[in-house]
Amino acid sequence: MKASSRSGVICTPHTLATDTGHDVLRDGGTAIDAVLAASATLAVSFPHMTGLGGDALLMLNDGRQLQVIMGLGQAGHTLPEGGIITERGAASAATTAGALRAWQQAKRISNNWGSRLDWPTLLAPAIAHARAGTPVSGSQAFWQEQRKALIDQLPDLHRLCRDDKGELKTEGSLLTQPQLADTLEQLSRAGLDDFYQGEIARALTRGFGDMGNGLTATDLARTQATLGRPWKTRYRAGFLYNFPAPTQGLYTLSALATLNQRPLARDRNGGADYYHHLVEAIKTQLALRNRELADPRCFPVAWEERLSEASARRSFGLINPNQAAPWHEPGQPADTIWMAASDSQGRTACLMQSLFHDFGSGCLVGDTGVLWSNRAASFSQNTQHPNAWAPGKIPAHTLNPSCYLADNGEQWYFGSQGGDGQPQTQMVLATQLIDYQQSVENALLAPRFLLGRSFFGSSENLKLEHSIAADVREELSRRGHQVETIPELSPLTGQAGALRVSPGGMTEAMHDPRGQGTARGLR
């Protein structure tokens, strides 16, 4: 359900996190305070998708400037024991966690915005929930069923996913996390730097040693978050913004810049021409991403040229309006969460945080209760690829939430879970909101597609939600797309959210009807 208010709104993937953020806004916190507190609660109530052991991006708008924070962990200076990185397990937990560095940077900006709330206040709800327990979400129960074999292989996940009888926890059953509560409590007392250079850091380092993941105290201490400006491109009567490399933001922006060459609003909304051009625009960009996306310190990309009008025209010229281009690219499924809040001063904060794949590495580090990401699995196994592992290197990221600032003062913020699906879902949201001027509700309800492999290892085809008209699916097949129909409002197409700020100050937000997210506004 959508929430609207002139005093502040928040939307997140879980009701407990939304309630936490709402209460922070009610108590005078900034939009940044709200998403930080909500993210801490989400680490407890949505542990299969996000947590302290992952990475985070934030996009902040104080009404004068748009800034981005990138808290991305880096590789250790040695490979895990055995000399290889795996997809799961300890050898996939071989990058540090940048999320809390991003939180620190964001809190400093929040204090500059006038925040009077401290870390003990912001972390208190998460601590209480971790200690008393939270109901297992429908999302966690769903992913447990999909990952039975993984849970069997990784004993640490038994603490999160199995009951006292060894059965998978069911939706609504109680999940307590006393070790995570202790970690959060220590962070609230000592400050977040303790995670990188303090008592918690020492506990993590001991855990790394036991795991053999190659990370050391020095690696942890060197983790940084960067503050900068987003990359942007002109789209219709405004500018689209997204995150710099090593995120895939460039490719989302480039695909939409390509679509900007076509007056899309003249096409039937939801028709074959609409979906054909969206799919063909992203194909070129995903192929480029797969070849080149890496830590920009190792492989810089001339992003301004890529987002130029001339580049967009060249990309658009590659699209055959009547024939689908071949598609043989490997997919990159991944999981994450997106949330956003706006406060009484009209300032907005969006946060995206991830463990990479659902349940991350599957490893709880030492006695901290912190589930570590498997982001190291994002490194290419090809030693000649720009994204190959190297000491201290940041791997390529699929995280890339967007913002659109219209010339008339309207603002939209949106993002989605889903690896390869993130730019695809964002293209649907952007075109629905901007080209077809749909409401937030209708944009989130609009039928989606997913080009490529899903979370469950299906084929590299074009998946279309059943709500796309049958004649449209048939026409797309005729144009050469390898079409597979998936259920209406399918979770395969991501868990998205959107927040709109009108020029008059009214703010509205909503999370995806494909999930259990909620939104609340101040009265």
**DSSP assignment of 496-513:** EEEEEE-TTS-EEEEE-T
| C-alpha torsion 180→183→184→186, nearest 10 | 160
Tokens 């039975």 correspond to what residue? 148
Cis, bond preceding 47 (omega within 30 deg of 0): no
User: Is 336 a residue of the active site?
Assistant: yes
Structure tokens at 113: 């915005």
**Identified catalytic residue from 96, 252, 336, 368:** 336
| E strands, 229-347, in order | 231-234, 238-242, 335-342
Nearest to 16 by CA among 36, 39, 32, 50: 39
End-to-end C-alpha distance for the chain, whole angstroms: 16
Question: What's the token pair of residue 514?
Answer: 């494909």
Cβ atoms 434, 404 nearer than 8 A: yes
- Whole-angstrom CA distances from 77 to 231, 293, 393, 470, 471 are 30, 21, 9, 53, 55
Residue 166 burial by Cβ neighbours in a 10 Å radius (0-12, 13-18, 19+) = exposed
CA torsion, ordered 181, 187, 192, 195, to nearest 10 deg: -70
DSSP SS3 for 410: coil
Both tokens of residue 153? Answer: 């292989």
Active site residues: 336
